[in-house]
Structure 1
Amino acid sequence: MKKEIYLGGLSFLLTACGGINYVGIETCNPGEVTFPQDVRKVLMVNNAMAQPEKSGYTYSLLGVVQDTAQAKADSALFDLCAACGTSMLDASYFEDVLLFHDPLRDSGSSLMDRKLTRDQVASLCRSNGADAIISLDKMLFAMEREDVNVGAGFLSGTITVKMQGIMRAYLPGRDNALATVLIEDSVEFQQAAENLRMLNYYLPTANEALRIAASALGGKVSGYFVPHWSEETRWYYNNANSRWKEAAAFASSSKWEQAEAIWKRVFEVTSSKSQQAKLASNIALCYEMQSQLKSAHEWAQKSYELFLASEGEKNRNTELLKAYAEVLKERILADKKLNTQIGSR
């Protein structure tokens, strides 16, 4: 069994048969933007200009580019704002998240990034009872659909939607935005069918593809503005030793304090640096699972140094523990920011 773990920008492929057990962990992460404590109600607005219908969409049918390709982005812009607002509301961070249903711009280029003015912010907050505004100020889509013959009379269709935009947070009484967030993502749809008519039935239309992609992006970018939970994968090392197995049994039942105590006792009597490195990594996980991040980081760093000494810099375990120590260091900093954001809310 193989499993890929992503930590600190690095990807590792580990094999479970080597004595590694995996465990899921949910971490609470702060939003990128920190709002003042008195911001209770937020208004989501669409200040982006929809791109022209024939801009940014390419459709290739059996290698021939079609000149009829077009897609409307108006609804997709609204869907992005709605999905972002709904996700923020679900986070229960603000008292309320309101959605301004009408677009603020009706002219100009979709390529133009136009910020809200101080007067616009004040007027929108006053008329909607909001303390702050989150605005989609620019949004561009690049969509490609390619239908190819895959043999036996079947067609395969792929739609790829790439998205880039700018969102900002505004507070009344300020000349400049509180924060500017660059957003970017892509969504792919793929389907096969026995003919073009059925393929068109299975795949979303161009307009639907834009709306689905925009909603997905909106749900993701909400995490820039509110604390949010994410699921990650951790691991602990095991072997045939009875004490290791006993600790692993406690770990599998989420009894991290008991597992930690056993792994520490084994660590103290083990002479092998390689085994000590694995035990130190396990102990770091126990501390992390008990939200003792400083101790977790200290043991992860110790594990990394032991792996470095026993197995070398290029060893898979050495690289993994280096990344894990960095992740824990980032979690310590993130927790400080999270405490600031949550405060007295």
Structure 2
Amino acid sequence: MKYDNFAVNFNRMQKTTSSLIILFLALMMSSCAGIKYLTVETREPAQVNLPSNVLSIAIVNNVLQQPDEVGHDSIPIGHTQAERVKAPADSAAIFYTEALAQFLDEEDYFHRVIHYNEPLRKDNDFFRERPLEPETMNRIRKETGADAIISLDKLIIETKKRDHFKQQGYIYADMTGKIHSILRVYMPTMEGKIPAVQYTDSIHWEGFDIQDGKAYADIMLPSREEAVKLLSVRAAEKMTYVFAPHWEMQDRWYYTLPNSLMREGEAYAKGSQWEEAIEKWEAFYNNSSKKTDKAKAASNIALAYEMLDDMEQALEWATLSNNLFIESTAPNSLERRRSLLYKNEIERRNNNSNRLNMDDL
């Protein structure tokens, strides 16, 4: 009798253990299937493609100093109307052109980047643009040896400050700074076709207005002079991407599945052996009958081609992956939305229509 009870308990234990093993294996298998993220550097093209024979450029300041009383106002505590105030912006164009020259030089795209120190405007009409005359352009090119000139032809900076309350003798306020600039590219072969690049942006700050250096707060407003510098340097950084290719950090992902071909492809991907990864993922794609699995494999293949800088193939596979997800998943599924985002990103990178090729001008 005791033996029979033991046998029954043993059989139950065997069944329980078997169930646990099956559950464990199922969990292991499900954990193998998923998605893994990676951060990659993508080479983004310049928005203005200068001719290939432009190896050196000169950055020049072709604007007048903004008058201190132009563009700045303040709303004191208890007031509703803004009052005009003065703020120095005499170094804004210098900050802008120096920073642009430095950033372009750091991109290591041009052989030589020269910052032309001498301001070119000698008149007093701040609000009027005066593009470079051919004689001035040729003189600067001769002096610097530059193949082309990037000229800051317009720069207007505004700051608007609103005071909220005073605490321990210091005002808590917010301030918005705005910048508007126009850059032009000058070359001797342009025949009057001079492209203008406009840039408008703003930065918002909030905190205590402490300018005497006698106190500190966790959040503080910059002085208007500091704000002018921050706006100018930020604009120069953005304009760097207009004239030179640059690297950007972006998130990417690939799918994992409990399949030997997918795992082998993943191993190759981890070692940046993208051609070998494509071979394994394509084999899985061709052997699979499930649309969602084929969609995941196609997405992985698109990533591999993107890493190989073959954007046409990447777009082809990303589009195929998105179509398969549309056919096999719910309209609001995460997989469908994720694949559409990736397809659109590859399409953006593959589409050069947003770039201005100056060889065609």
| TM-score, normalised with respect to structure 1 | 0.79
- Asked if structure 1 preserves the Cα contact closer than 8 Å seen for 2:99 and 2:236, the reply is yes
Q: Does 1:25 align with 2:40?
A: yes
Match of 1:54 in 2: 69
For the residue of structure 2 that corresponds to 1:212, the secondary structure is helix
In 2 relative to 1, CA 51–316 (structure 1 residues): closer, same or farther, beyond 3 Å?
A: farther
In 2 relative to 1, CA 158–235 (structure 1 residues): closer, same or farther, beyond 3 Å?
A: farther
Q: Does 1:185 align with 2:201?
A: yes
Task: Give, in whole Å, the separation in 1 of the partners of 2:211 and 2:112.
Answer: 48
Match of 1:72 in 2: 88
- Asked if structure 2 preserves the Cα contact closer than 8 Å seen for 1:284 and 1:295, the reply is yes
Tell me by how many angstroms 1:94 deviates.
2.0
Task: Give, in whole Å, the separation in 1 of the partners of 2:91 and 2:84.
Answer: 20
Match of 1:233 in 2: 251
Letter of the structure 1 residue corresponding to residue 74 of structure 2: Y
Task: Give, in whole Å, the separation in 2 of the partners of 1:210 and 1:282.
Answer: 46
Tell me by how many angstroms 1:41 deviates.
2.3
Q: Does 1:284 align with 2:302?
A: yes
In 2 relative to 1, CA 242–34 (structure 1 residues): closer, same or farther, beyond 3 Å?
A: closer
- Asked if structure 1 preserves the Cα contact closer than 8 Å seen for 2:165 and 2:172, the reply is yes
Tell me by how many angstroms 1:82 deviates.
0.8
Q: Does 1:198 align with 2:221?
A: no
Tell me by how many angstroms 1:101 deviates.
1.5
In 2 relative to 1, CA 69–245 (structure 1 residues): closer, same or farther, beyond 3 Å?
A: farther
Q: Does 1:132 align with 2:174?
A: no
Task: Give, in whole Å, the separation in 2 of the partners of 1:192 and 1:238.
Answer: 51
What per-residue deviation string (whole Å, max 9, x for no partner) do you get for residues 110-139 of structure 1? 332321122221222223322211001111
Match of 1:301 in 2: 319
Match of 1:145 in 2: 161
Structure 2 counterparts to residues 1-345 of structure 1, below 5 A: 19-64=34-79, 67=83, 69-149=85-165, 156-172=172-188, 174-192=190-208, 198=215, 202-238=220-256, 244=262, 247-311=265-329, 315-334=333-352
Letter of the structure 1 residue corresponding to residue 339 of structure 2: L
Larger radius of gyration: 2
Letter of the structure 2 residue corresponding to residue 54 of structure 1: E
Task: Give, in whole Å, the separation in 2 of the partners of 1:195 and 1:139.
Answer: 26
For the residue of structure 1 that corresponds to 2:249, the secondary structure is strand
In 2 relative to 1, CA 307–322 (structure 1 residues): closer, same or farther, beyond 3 Å?
A: same
In 2 relative to 1, CA 223–193 (structure 1 residues): closer, same or farther, beyond 3 Å?
A: closer
Letter of the structure 1 residue corresponding to residue 70 of structure 2: S
- Asked if structure 1 preserves the Cα contact closer than 8 Å seen for 2:48 and 2:356, the reply is no
Letter of the structure 2 residue corresponding to residue 42 of structure 1: I
Tell me by how many angstroms 1:281 deviates.
1.0
Match of 1:13 in 2: none
Letter of the structure 2 residue corresponding to residue 284 of structure 1: A
Mean Cα displacement is larger for which, 321-330 or 75-84? 321-330
Task: Give, in whole Å, the separation in 2 of the partners of 1:150 and 1:244.
Answer: 63
- Asked if structure 2 preserves the Cα contact closer than 8 Å seen for 1:32 and 1:225, the reply is yes
Q: Which runs of 5+ in 2 are unaligned?
A: 1-32
| TM-score, normalised with respect to structure 2 | 0.76
- Asked if structure 2 preserves the Cα contact closer than 8 Å seen for 1:227 and 1:338, the reply is no
Task: Give, in whole Å, the separation in 2 of the partners of 1:340 and 1:111.
Answer: 28
Task: Give, in whole Å, the separation in 1 of the partners of 2:239 and 2:263.
Answer: 42
Give me the identity figure in percent: 31
Match of 1:11 in 2: none
Letter of the structure 2 residue corresponding to residue 180 of structure 1: A
- Asked if structure 2 preserves the Cα contact closer than 8 Å seen for 1:53 and 1:71, the reply is yes
